[in-house]
Structure 1
Amino acid sequence: MTTPVPPRLSALDRYFGITAAHSTPAQELRAGLTTFLTMSYVLFVNPQILSAAIPIENAAVQLLMTTALAAAFGSAVMGLVARYPFAQAPGMGLNAFFTYSVVLSMGVPWQTALGAVFISGVLFVLLSLAGARQAIVAAIPHSLKVAITGGIGAFLAFIGLKNAGIVVGNEATLVSLGQLTAAPVWLALAGLVITGALMARRVTGAILWGILATTLLAIVTGAQVYPGASGLQAFQGLQGSVLGIFAAPVWPADLIGALDLAGALQMGLLSVILTFFFVDFFDATGTLTGLAQRAGYLKDGQDDMPRARRLFAMDGLAAMFGAWLGTSTTTAYIESASGIGEGGRTGLTAVTVAALFLLSMFLWPLASAIPGAATAPALILVGAMMMEGLRQVEWEDITEALPAFLTLLFMPLTFSIANGVSFGVLSYCGLKLLSGKGRQVSPVLYVMAALLATRYIWLSE
């Protein structure tokens, strides 16, 4: 009997392990496009926040270019070196801390603040290469791992609801239902139904098709979901662009290499460096752990991620390179879950995202054609899918259930993955210790809890 000869794999397939991950190149490319579309808002939001702290000529455009370069580099090294389908870009939240707390409130020069971001990135890399970050991941109990995944899902869904205006702020109740007749709201709800129906019918590329269908609906109906315009009018009259689509990139000469390392090393900025470090350390670690589990790299009961040192080191390297480019901390994006939901399983997904961010430097007017109301349904649906693992929590054991619940709850309600991970770990260690089950907890987790408690007490504002 003749033994069947396995099909010959391409060099691309062998490098990324596409077939081994039960994926295809087309699926990976589609997943990369989906991830890019759901996180492309960073091209506009990050410059808007940072420009308040960085008063340079043509700040918005220069910061947009720096954002694109940082995202491209971070995603490329994550895909090519770590070979994970996780995209990276300047993180939301940390850019606000950079601008409003460090630069505007504390009066730290923006160049010095960039130096602090660079140093925190160096710490990330050193701890990753020493195995500290993967040791922490291995020490996190399974119930918290699945709770982190579920919490990120709730966070994603909350971001989607907020971006669409379905959930809005309310002075009396903190949050409430938005105006259902507003264009972004009804468009997002329509997109949610369309995308959900496509997923129910198991249509290949359902999330991406849902984003495109919702965008087309916005253009056809003339929905007021574009700043100051509707539909394709958003492309008209853009100075320096061709047909409202193509625009020459601007080299961010005033930002690249402007960081001040000597100033950042002063003792007075130690708390700033440590805050950047602590927040992003646990934010990124929680994000990467949740995404790894969602992508199937962390099976039930498994502690170690493949290529963990490279994975975490690339996160730190991206932060360093982003600071040199002139932006706040670059980190893994939870929106990568949308590409994973689309089938992305290998580094080719992240490399695709990197290529699209580079392309966006030339096509950035076109990127504005995808409104937030079109990507919001993708975030909500992916968030729903990430709840699946919560069934694995031992809900009958309060020492497992309460920390998992707090992890799940704190992420969307405090708008921080780091807070969710932190309070989950603190409550887990405290409950186990006081209930006589302290030996079930890894010593590494106790050390982590002590550091977190120190951070909240010593570095609290």
Structure 2
Amino acid sequence: MSTRTDTGTTPARRRTAAGPLDRFFGITAAGSTVPRELRAGFTTFLTMSYILFVNPQVLATAIDIPNAFVQLLMTTAIAACFGSLAMGLIARYPFAQAPGMGLNAFFSYTVVAGMGVPWQTALGAVFISGLLFVVLSVIGARRAIVMAIPMSLKLAITAGIGAFLAFLGLRNAGLVVTNEATLVGLGSLTEPTGWLAVVGLLLSAVLLQLRVKGAILWGILATSLIAILTRVPVYPGGADGALQAFPGFTNGVVAAPIWPADLVGQMDVGGALGLGLLSVVFTFFFVDFFDATGTLTGLAQRAGYLDERGDMPRAKTTFSMDGLAAMFGAFMGTSTTTAYVESAAGIEDGGRTGLTSTTTGVLFAASMFLWPVAGAVPGAATAPALILVGAMMMEGIRHIAWDEISEGVPAFLTILSMPLTFSIANGVSFGVITYCAIKLFTGRGRQVHPILYVVAALLVARYVFLAE
């Protein structure tokens, strides 16, 4: 059973009359404070602000329009702003949203470049998949699936997301690199990105151990300051794609936003409904369904919002906001917008309510004017935050019955496959399939919710028929 931890708010204080902001978000009831929520939102923004630069780079390979990078940056910021505000103001949870990594690569390299589908039609497929999310959320299907997942897998999903986050952090820091002989290997600790990340990791860990408020945020800012002052080449934008020292704010701190006129409303829903593209629509749907469902469930468990039955309050609304964000993002001209696992950084920094994700959404809106400031935070500064958050998300696995094979093996596969396949969706899928199979073939099939058997069958069909 996961319970929300009290962060220092006394019962007497909870009974104190709260202001409208506190009452709307339930801040005091969640054991938090307004400053803590704002700080957590800022932390979440810093850890996921890389998407402002990475998403345009990926999508620009598929979307050929004038001034593509800037227009895609703007539509990325708008989609992230809308998704985070919807989750914060309507669902009132600290889960930020933005165009998802992995799905943007599938959009660009597989669907558009590989299959020759026009990017407008691919956006239509994203819109339809988002609509399916909303429908399934409203009728309660997504909540029913989450409720059917056993607690051991819920704990494993949280831990798997933590392992995935840590792997992302190690990769962003250059500490884990591609190795032709062993698939992955240790990067160079003498490279600026590597040693700066190690310094940031130690600094942030010390601050956390000393229970300094906002330790993760202070670690990010301090590491960024070290990078700027030492002039180490850890920032993108150098010649031939090489890293460079902080170039300064060459275009000023404030830059006028550009409306992405060549992207907004360009989706072709009719074309995406063609029989030849149904597999694309359902691939978008399946991958994001289990990616987002796993992410939201893991984040909710970590934030203490799952009850003893594994249920999450306002689940229908929360899942609906995920689908709505995907639909809006497609209309604006970007690939699937979804819940971000980096929200865990804000949660670990104390964020417990929708004010955290609302803050993140406002900062994404501001980034359209102040995006050069976000460029002052290198990936080596946010990498330690992802590693530390990943470590802390492993805490729940001690409650898994590891001596029970039918519980331990699916949980282990869930945790391990997320970083190794670079997919939260794969981790959830492997866990669900093996859990159902082992229970069924050992005469314990009645311990599995019938809905989970249906889900497992659909997942098997997805890997068999939609693998490409």
Q: Over the residues paired in the alignment, what is the CA RMSD in angstroms?
A: 1.2
Identify the match of residue 278 of structure 1 among 286, 291, 298: 286
Amino acid at match of 1:279: V
Q: In 2, Cα distance between the equivalents of 1:272 and 1:4?
A: 53
| 1:233 Cα offset (Å) | 2.2
Unaligned ranges ≥5, structure 2: 1-11
SS at match of 2:383: helix
Q: Does residue 140 of structure 2 align to residue 111 of structure 1?
A: no
Question: How do residues 5-404 of structure 1 correspond to structure 2 at under 5 angstroms?
Answer: 6-227=15-236, 228=238, 230-236=244-250, 241-242=251-252, 245-299=253-307, 301-404=308-411
Taking structure 2 as the reference length, the TM-score comes to 0.95
| Alpha-carbon displacement from aligned partner over 1:217-260 (angstroms, at most 9, x marks no partner) | 11111111012275542433xxxx33xx2111010000000001
SS at match of 1:169: strand
| 1:365 Cα offset (Å) | 1.2
Amino acid at match of 1:249: P
Amino acid at match of 2:302: R
Give the aligned partner of residue 435 of structure 2. Answer: 428
Paired residues of 1:134 and 1:309 also in contact (CA < 8 A) = yes
Unaligned ranges ≥5, structure 1: none
Q: In 2, Cα distance between the equivalents of 1:288 and 1:7?
A: 31
Q: In 1, Cα distance between the equivalents of 2:16 and 2:32?
A: 15
Amino acid at match of 2:161: I
| 1:5 Cα offset (Å) | 11
SS at match of 1:114: helix
Identify the match of residue 421 of structure 2 among 414, 424, 445: 414
Paired residues of 1:226 and 1:234 also in contact (CA < 8 A) = no
| 1:80 Cα offset (Å) | 0.4
Q: In 2, Cα distance between the equivalents of 1:59 and 1:321?
A: 19
| Alpha-carbon displacement from aligned partner over 1:310-340 (angstroms, at most 9, x marks no partner) | 0000000000000000000000000000000
Runs of 4+ that moved beyond 6 A: none
| 1:304 Cα offset (Å) | 1.3
SS at match of 1:168: strand
Paired residues of 2:227 and 2:246 also in contact (CA < 8 A) = no
Paired residues of 1:155 and 1:383 also in contact (CA < 8 A) = yes
| 1:95 Cα offset (Å) | 0.2
Q: In 2, Cα distance between the equivalents of 1:89 and 1:451?
A: 27
Paired residues of 2:55 and 2:76 also in contact (CA < 8 A) = yes
| Alpha-carbon displacement from aligned partner over 1:104-128 (angstroms, at most 9, x marks no partner) | 1100000000000000000000000
Amino acid at match of 1:44: F
Amino acid at match of 2:169: G
Amino acid at match of 2:137: S
Paired residues of 1:220 and 1:231 also in contact (CA < 8 A) = no
| Alpha-carbon displacement from aligned partner over 1:340-359 (angstroms, at most 9, x marks no partner) | 00000000000000000000
Amino acid at match of 1:14: R
| Alpha-carbon displacement from aligned partner over 1:187-236 (angstroms, at most 9, x marks no partner) | 00000000000000000000000000100111111111012275542433
Taking structure 1 as the reference length, the TM-score comes to 0.97
